[in-house]
Amino acid sequence: MSLANAAAEYMLSDALLPDRRGPRPKGLCLELPLDRMVKFVAVGSPLLLMSLAFAQEFSSGSPISCFSPSNFSVRQAAYVDSSCWDSLVHHEQDEPGQYKMKSLWPHKALPYSLLALAMVMYLPVLLWQYAAVPALSSDLLFIISELDKSYNRSIRLVQHMLKIQQKSSDPHVFWDELEKARKERYFEFPLLERYLACKQRSHSLVAIYLLRNSLLLLFTSATYLYLGNFHLDVFFQEEFSCSIKTKLSDETHVPDLITCRLTSLSVFQIVSLSSVAIYTLLVPVIVYNLTRLCQWDKRLLSIYEMLPAFDLLSRKMLGCPINDLNVILLFLRANISELISFSWLSVLCVLKDTTSQKHNIDTVVDFMTLLAGLEPSKPKHLTHRMCDEHP
């Protein structure tokens, strides 16, 4: 074996990827980075604000302070505070002798409404986790494995071509067989391409992904409606008039109305404004997640088009990108560290763009053939010799 052939063998051996015969990768990212961020913020912020509300209640004691008459004892004043907090109704005089009542229950329900909001915002995550993740995980494991195997098959094919060229005594026979193999498409392994083409006609994953983000938008809109209808009505009301006369109807010295002050109003306002601000910032992110389904990741596809029989970009991706294949491509991009072949093919794409024989290089087989010292097509001197022999 000549030094050139030995160097070519070593170069091709180094280009081979290690076989994945051990345990399957368990670190697959089954949630896109932006989706994970939305989940943590949408679910975590209500829980954080709920802890703030509870901390204020535990630290300052009673959330209201009522101005009881001076002749009330300490126990009677405590009873007034407890009774007014239990009812939490503001009595406003409408006509002489008649009062208009307004409930201030959002103050009392604040921590529990935040807990309910966090639970509701977690429902889309559960939907994705149980409806989409099992199928997506198996798809990604198969596609990642096949992409790396397809790359390795291409390298092994070039190794085999090099051995045949070394053993062939007649170069005409070798090049005739090589051209016949390319014409009959022997170098193509269409299993993966056909599988991805089937995914292009499937819409289960994309439907669940659209439903997840649509539910987030729906729940965010419901949060706005809740805050606008209930919190805004009591947002600036720090004092209210409480009536305990119905409970102490026999006591003549008890006034009709007692003024009370909400000591937790500042926390209520902070929680309300923070909720509006947080979910307002999340809306553009959710909308952006939806708009990503309207275009293909052409850079990822263009790199893998160097594999034989992987011409999805040029032939099959001309229709609507809202399908399962586009969702899978987004997750392949998120799991790019698991695609060992991606870095090799990226380098080959860069070298391919800088070579002077671009018209002869379509796949990794062509490029590695060139690097191994073989011509990507039949040499001109052999073509001219055949023409001379067969005028």
What Cα–Cα distance (Å) separates residue 258 from each residue in 84, 95, 255?
9, 18, 7
Q: How far is CA 290 from the centre of its chain?
A: 10
Q: Residue 113 in 3-state DSSP?
A: helix
Strands annotated E in 150-291: 239-242, 258-262
Q: Which two tokens stand for residue 188?
A: 């193509």
Calpha distance 206→291 (Å, rounded): 12
Q: What is the number of helices (H) and of strands (E) in the chain?
A: 15, 5
* CA neighbours closer than 13 Å in the CB half-sphere of residue 137: 14
Calpha distance 387→384 (Å, rounded): 5
Residues ≥6 apart with Cβ < 8 Å to 53? 110, 111, 114, 264, 267, 268, 271
Q: 317: burial class by Cβ within 10 Å (0-12, 13-18, 19+)? A: buried
pLDDT of 184: 46
Calpha distance 31→35 (Å, rounded): 6
Q: Residue 367 in 3-state DSSP?
A: helix
pLDDT of 188: 58
Q: What is the pTM of this model?
A: 0.81
Q: Across the beta sheet with 258-262, what order do the strands follow?
A: 64-66, 258-262, 239-242
Average pLDDT, consecutive stretches of 10 residues, N- to C-terminus, the chain (391 residues) = 59 67 68 94 94 83 78 79 81 68 85 94 96 93 86 74 65 58 55 82 94 96 93 85 65 72 88 94 95 85 74 62 90 89 80 62 60 54 46 46
Answer whether 257's CB lies under 8 Å from 98's CB. Answer: no
Calpha distance 129→123 (Å, rounded): 10
> Within 10 Å of residue 135's Cβ, how many Cβ atoms?
14
Calpha distance 204→123 (Å, rounded): 18
Q: Which two tokens stand for residue 193?
A: 């391409």
Q: Which two tokens stand for residue 275?
A: 């909720």
Calpha distance 76→70 (Å, rounded): 11
Q: Which two tokens stand for residue 47?
A: 């829980």
Q: Which residues are bridge partners to 242 per DSSP?
A: 258
User: Which conformational region is residue 18 in: left (phi greater than 0), alpha (psi within -120 to 50 degrees), or beta?
Assistant: beta
Q: Which two tokens stand for residue 84?
A: 């007014």
| DSSP-H helix ranges across 24-109 | 33-60, 74-87, 105-108
Residues ≥6 apart with Cβ < 8 Å to 99? 91, 92, 93, 243, 257
pLDDT of 255: 72
